[in-house]
Amino acid sequence: MPKGLPGTRQSTRPANTKTTRKRTIPPIDNHIGKKLRQLYASILEEPVPDRFLDLINSFDGPSGPEPSGDAS
């Protein structure tokens, strides 16, 4: 039995027989990717709505009333 952590399996294949395979992208994936980029390209060029900009800017503002110097 190979040495290792109890309750774990280890590969019985010698390290020199492991091969790495280069992943190829099927033509259909390329086609789908091109079509999706064409579909959404115009959306990327649209301006950000004012209400989203206002929301983003509100995150940068104060998070509540500022503490005053009075300790009365």
Dump pLDDT digits (tens) for 54-69. Answer: 999 998 866 655 556 5
More confident residue, 3 or 24: 24
State which H helix or E strand residue 2 sits in: none
The pTM of this model reads: 0.34
Q: Which residue has the tokens 């009075």?
A: 70
Alpha-carbon gap, residue 40 to 59, rounded angstroms: 28
pLDDT tens figures, 5-41: 555 565 565 566 556 666 777 889 999 999 999 999 9
